[in-house]
């Protein structure tokens, strides 16, 4: 079930500028903003449409956002730090800039997780257990898992586990990781494939 929070969309430039000036680095909870930028690039390539990044904001923060005037980077930083609803199942939404028929955006909801940091075991079995421990309520979110440095797993085995699990609650399962100086994004459910991106294309 989704909250009744309002979704507010931002350009990738706004997110990049926030990370460059106020970001605490990808090894902190700010990894979610890096993941959102990566997913925005992925979706644009898949859909061949310009996209924006959306977040569900708490009602109390919405009242502070100017309705007509543009807002400063400092105000955006305040929104990102205090206004995003951390209790929502949706961590970010990637949607088309242009409205579709009916006046709505086309897009996808993502739940963002990371695997590896603070764990002694970082193998395939541990990853499968981690995924199975997550939300067991059927949801429309795509689960995107960032694999931390030092994680070595067999994604084909993870895919076999997911395909054999009729109760897997998410609509899709995707991973992001670093390899040979590039950022990789791979999907193993429902489709199977991988894309590579240069780090400089995310945050200059």
Residue 45 located in a structural domain: yes
Q: Is the pLDDT of residue 78 over 80?
A: yes
Q: Is the pLDDT of residue 3 over 60?
A: no
Number of domains forming the structure of the chain: 1
Average pLDDT, the chain: 88
The torsion angles phi and psi of 84, rounded to 5 degrees, stand at -75, 135
Residue 69 burial class via C-beta count within 10 angstroms: exposed 0-12, middle 13-18, buried 19 and up = exposed
The torsion angles phi and psi of 178, rounded to 5 degrees, stand at -95, 140
Residue 32 located in a structural domain: yes
Comparing CA positions, the residue from 187, 204, 200 lying closest to residue 39 is 187
Q: Is the pLDDT of residue 1 over 50?
A: no
Report residue 77's pLDDT band, with 50, 70 and 90 as the boundaries.
very high
Please compute the mean of the pLDDT values over residues 116-125 and round it to a whole number: 87
- What is the C-alpha to C-alpha distance for residues 53 and 15, in angstroms, rounded to an integer? 8
- What lies within 8 Å, CB to CB, of 112 at 6+ separation is 31, 32, 35, 36, 91, 92, 144, 146
Q: Is the pLDDT of residue 100 over 90?
A: no
Comparing CA positions, the residue from 101, 96, 92 lying closest to residue 49 is 96
Residue 109 located in a structural domain: yes
Q: Per DSSP, what are the bridge partners of residue 160?
A: none
Residue 195 located in a structural domain: yes
The answer to whether 94 touches 43, Cβ cutoff 8 Å, is yes
pTM score: 0.90
* Tokens describing residue 106: 């086309």
- What is the C-alpha to C-alpha distance for residues 37 and 31, in angstroms, rounded to an integer? 10
Q: What DSSP character marks residue 160?
A: H
- H or E segment at 125? helix 124-132
Q: What is the dihedral of CA 13, 19, 20, 25, to 10 degrees?
A: -150
Its domain, for residue 196, covers 6-201
Residue 1 located in a structural domain: no
Q: What is the 3-state secondary structure (H, E, C) of 188-203?
A: EECCCEEEEEEHHHCC
- What is the C-alpha to C-alpha distance for residues 47 and 42, in angstroms, rounded to an integer? 9
Give the tens place of pLDDT for each residue, 171-198.
Answer: 999 999 988 888 899 999 988 888 888 8
Residue 18 located in a structural domain: yes
Report residue 19's pLDDT band, with 50, 70 and 90 as the boundaries.
very high
Report residue 203's pLDDT band, with 50, 70 and 90 as the boundaries.
low
- H or E segment at 32? helix 31-47
């Amino acid at each position: 079930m989704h909250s009744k929070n309002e979704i507010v969309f931002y350009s990738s430039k706004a997110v990049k500028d926030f990370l460059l000036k106020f970001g605490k680095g990808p090894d902190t909870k700010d990894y979610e903003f890096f993941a959102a930028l990566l997913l925005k690039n992925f979706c644009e390539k898949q859909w061949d449409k310009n996209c924006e990044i959306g977040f569900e904001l708490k009602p109390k923060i919405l009242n502070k956002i100017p309705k007509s005037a543009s807002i400063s980077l400092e105000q955006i930083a305040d929104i990102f730090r205090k206004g995003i609803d951390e209790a929502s199942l949706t961590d970010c939404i990637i949607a088309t800039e242009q409205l579709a028929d009916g006046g709505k955006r086309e897009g996808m909801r993502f739940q963002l997780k990371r695997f590896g940091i603070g764990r002694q075991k970082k193998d395939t079995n541990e990853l499968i257990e981690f995924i199975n421990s997550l939300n067991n309520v059927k949801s429309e979110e795509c689960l995107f898992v960032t694999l931390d440095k030092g994680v070595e797993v067999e994604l084909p085995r993870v895919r076999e586990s997911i395909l054999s699990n009729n109760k897997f609650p998410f609509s899709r399962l995707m991973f992001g990781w670093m390899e040979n100086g590039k950022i990789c994004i791979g999907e193993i459910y429902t489709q199977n494939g991988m894309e590579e991106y240069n780090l400089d294309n995310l945050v200059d």
